[in-house]
Amino acid sequence: MQWYLKVLRQYADFTGRARRTEYWMYTLFTIIATIIAFVLDGLIFGFGQGPLAGYGFIYALYALATIIPSLAVTARRLHDTDRSGWWILIGLVPIVGGIILLVFTVLEGTRGQNQYGPDPKATVYN
């Protein structure tokens, strides 16, 4: 939970670096919150049928509130692997782009300082 809150405190901070733990814990809590939002939308507004069934008000609010911190933590994660945050745009390429972005977020970060700042692991442990 601390990692999720850390990302939210750095709401629109696209500078610096983010550890794998920070990125993946934020992603885990976001997935859990999204599932909860879907269920609440279904319970409150009905599960119904059709192409928009399950996509309701609560999910839309949550998605809108977390889009900027999600982009920011992804940019910081890419910075940790010594890549520009603009690599997020590769996710727009169907199928292959998402796989490449996934690989970049799974890779270990650059040891020591890089062009985006000090090593976040060294900062935590020292």
pLDDT tens digits for range 98-113: 999 999 999 998 888 8
Distance CA 67, CA 59 (A): 12
pLDDT, tens digit (0-9, with 9 covering 90-100), for 46-83: 666 655 555 678 888 999 999 999 999 999 999 999 99
Number of H helices, E strands in the chain: 5, 0
pLDDT for res 119: 86
What is the arithmetic mean of pLDDT over 7-36? 92
List the one residue out of 1, 4, 12 whose CA is nearest residue 67.
12
Domain boundaries, the chain: 2-125
pLDDT at 126: 44
The pLDDT mean for the chain works out to 87
